[in-house]
Structure 1
Amino acid sequence: MIEAELKAHVRDPAVMRERLDRLAAGRDEVYRDTYFDTPGAHLEAADRELRLRTVDGPDGTRSLLTYKEARVDEASGSKPEYETGIGDPAAVRAMLNGLGYIEAITFAKHCRNYEFTAHERPMLATLVRVPEIDGTYVELETKVAGRGELCDALGDVRAVLAGLGIGEGDLTAELYTDAVRARRTG
């Protein structure tokens, strides 16, 4: 599956939250993300990601292991994504370390998630705040089976964002990992 996703800077988080609340009930969650790489940063150099995420929310705690391939669309940063739930994140961390992967960066994301249908597609909108980064972001995604569907899906995502008051100038392809790393190194 390819995650057809766009991310944007939010100028007025309260207004955006109000608009999203009209589309669906929001769910507050905190993501604790750890990105793994080889000691030589080969995954990052190849634009791939290996992430262990623990999500704390109103329904309890769950953990996910995610692998993302390189971007298939430069403008949006959309990537093929493979994700599965895991029962024991400490065991997965030990496995990854045992296979030679190291923890490249860890940070928290404070999220409010909204699930709804638009343009006959399931959509997930997430208001994101990363304490180490200034500002609030909105991510909007849907999943498609292949590259042939990506252009239409991104068009639908752009249309929903426009309806939420997000313009092309608000979009960003900057990665949270890069922004957090830059903030930590000054």
Structure 2
Amino acid sequence: MIEAELKARVHTPEAVVKRLDERTTGRAEVYQDTYYDDPAGRLEGSDKELRVRTVHGTDETRTLLTYKGAKVDEASGSKPEHETWVSDPEAVHALLRGLGYVPVVAFEKRCRNYDFEANGRKMVATLVRVPEIDGTFVELETIVDEADVAAALGDVRAVLRDLGIEEEDLTTELYTDAVRAGRTSS
């Protein structure tokens, strides 16, 4: 399955939150993300990602192991995504290290997530703040078959317009790259 997703900088977070709150109730969560690669950087070099994410919510903490394949849509950065729940995060970190992967970057994302349906699709909007990066972002995604990516991205764009997000606000910059750049310049 493909995560058809667009990400944008948000200039008026309060207005976007208000519009999202009109659709559904959001939930605050903090993500602890650790990205892995082999020592030669072959995953990143082939546009792939391997991540362990621990999500701290108000009622629960859960951990997910995620593999993202190379982009299927260059303009949006949409990728195939395979994800599974992890019952023992420390074991997964140890397993990845044991297989020769090394952590390449780890950081925190402070999120407010909204699940809703729009244009006949299940969507997730996430308002994101990464303490190491200036600004607020919104990610809007839906999971589709590869043949449906273009149509799904059209639907995602329509919802972003409803949220007050303009086309020029869209970005494909990765949080991992921004965090690493900020740490290098410090």
1:144 aligns with 2:151: no
Distance between the aligned counterparts of 1:59 and 1:142, measured in 2? Answer: 24
Per-residue deviation, 1:148: 1.1
Secondary structure of the residue aligned to 2:133 is: coil
Secondary structure of the residue aligned to 2:147 is: helix
**Residue in 1 that maps onto 2:54:** 54
Count of paired positions: 185
* TM-score calculated relative to the size of structure 2: 0.99
1:136 alignment partner AA: T
1:12 alignment partner AA: T
2:178 alignment partner AA: A
Distance between the aligned counterparts of 2:13 and 2:153, measured in 1? Answer: 23
The 5-angstrom pairing of residues 78-117 of structure 1 reads 78-117=78-117
**Residue in 2 that maps onto 1:22:** 22
Secondary structure of the residue aligned to 1:22 is: helix
Secondary structure of the residue aligned to 1:104 is: strand
Per-residue deviation, 1:152: 0.3
Unaligned runs of 5+ in 2: none
- Once the two structures are aligned, what percentage of the paired residues are identical? 64
**Residue in 2 that maps onto 1:135:** 135
1:180 aligns with 2:179: yes
Distance between the aligned counterparts of 1:15 and 1:160, measured in 2? Answer: 14
1:104 alignment partner AA: V
Per-residue deviation, 1:56: 0.2
Per-residue deviation, 1:3: 0.1
Q: Deviations over 1:24-51 (max 9, x none)?
A: 1000000000000000111000000000
Find runs of 4+ consecutive structure 1 residues off by over 6 angstroms: none
Distance between the aligned counterparts of 2:101 and 2:59, measured in 1? Answer: 31
Distance between the aligned counterparts of 2:92 and 2:163, measured in 1? Answer: 38
Distance between the aligned counterparts of 1:71 and 1:148, measured in 2? Answer: 14
1:36 aligns with 2:36: yes
**Residue in 2 that maps onto 1:162:** 161
Per-residue deviation, 1:115: 0.3
The 5-angstrom pairing of residues 112-127 of structure 1 reads 112-127=112-127
Per-residue deviation, 1:63: 0.1
Distance between the aligned counterparts of 1:2 and 1:59, measured in 2? Answer: 29
Secondary structure of the residue aligned to 2:40 is: coil
What RMSD in Å do the two structures reach over aligned CA positions? 0.5
* TM-score calculated relative to the size of structure 1: 0.99
Secondary structure of the residue aligned to 1:148 is: helix
Q: Deviations over 1:140-174 (max 9, x none)?
A: 000002x2100000000000001111111000000
1:23 alignment partner AA: R
